[in-house]
Structure 1
Amino acid sequence: MIGTSESREIVDWEKTTDDGQPVYEIEYTEPVPEPTGRSKTLFGAGSGGTVPAGDQSFEMPDGTRIPATEATFDADGTTLRVRRERSVIDRLRRYLPW
């Protein structure tokens, strides 16, 4: 689960929508840093081996998985805000006829 550790747990969370995209606001028991898609504790050898960048994801409290390449974060103390930002290629595909 995103942001949890041996000493940090989720206290409360809320899912809202901003510009048609889901936004998760998650509150923890202690301050939380902004995650990175390259965290060894999430995706490195300690978790059973490396995972290709395209297969990395973050699990939200409701079970939804957001690809690590599309997740943006804003950490403020014990609150982490997570939003899915689609890649430039995905956005172009919406407007191009191919």
Structure 2
Amino acid sequence: MIGTDETREIVDWRKTTEDGKPTYEIEYNEPVPEPTGRSKPLFGASSGGTVPAGEQSFLLPDGEQIPATEVVCEADGTTLRVRHEPSTLARLRRYLPW
């Protein structure tokens, strides 16, 4: 989970760069599980509809949105580390004219 819910709140967060990639360290007030898949609080249209995989994203504390296909998460107790790692396909699209 990224963000808050009924019992979990963000205590602190910071954005750093590791190996040239943006990394967020988000600290919560209680242990946080590593995101394992798509859940309603993170994904989906507000109307309850389905969002195509290519349009799903994570919204981070500073307002940055990262495509769900380009996020790598690691949980360690109350800290969640979120890295933006563009997929191979996303990197190819930047260089190909189509």
In which range does the TM-score fall when normalised by the shorter chain? 0.7 to 0.9
- Secondary structure in 1 matching 2:12: strand
| Aligned mates of 1:31, 1:47 — CA distance in 2 | 30
The Cα of 1:5 is off from its aligned counterpart by: 1.0
| Aligned mates of 1:46, 1:97 — CA distance in 2 | 34
* Gap change, CA 1:2 and 1:97, over 3 Å in 2: closer
More helix by percentage: 1
| Aligned mates of 1:33, 1:76 — CA distance in 2 | 8
The Cα of 1:36 is off from its aligned counterpart by: 3.5
1:84 aligns with 2:81: no
* Gap change, CA 1:85 and 1:12, over 3 Å in 2: same
For normalisation by structure 2, the TM-score amounts to 0.83
| Aligned mates of 1:68, 1:97 — CA distance in 2 | 22
Runs of 4+ deviating beyond 4 Å:
44-47
The Cα of 1:97 is off from its aligned counterpart by: 6.1
Percent identity of equivalent pairs: 73
For normalisation by structure 1, the TM-score amounts to 0.83
Answer whether contact 1:43 1:49 (CA < 8 A) is retained. no
| Aligned mates of 2:36, 2:52 — CA distance in 1 | 14
1:58 aligns with 2:58: yes
Deviates more, 1:22-31 or 1:84-93: 84-93
Answer whether contact 2:57 2:68 (CA < 8 A) is retained. yes
Unmatched segments (≥5 aa) in structure 1: none
Listed as ranges, the matches of 1:1-98 within 5 Å are 2-43=2-43, 48-93=48-93, 98=97
- Secondary structure in 1 matching 2:49: coil
Equivalences, count: 97
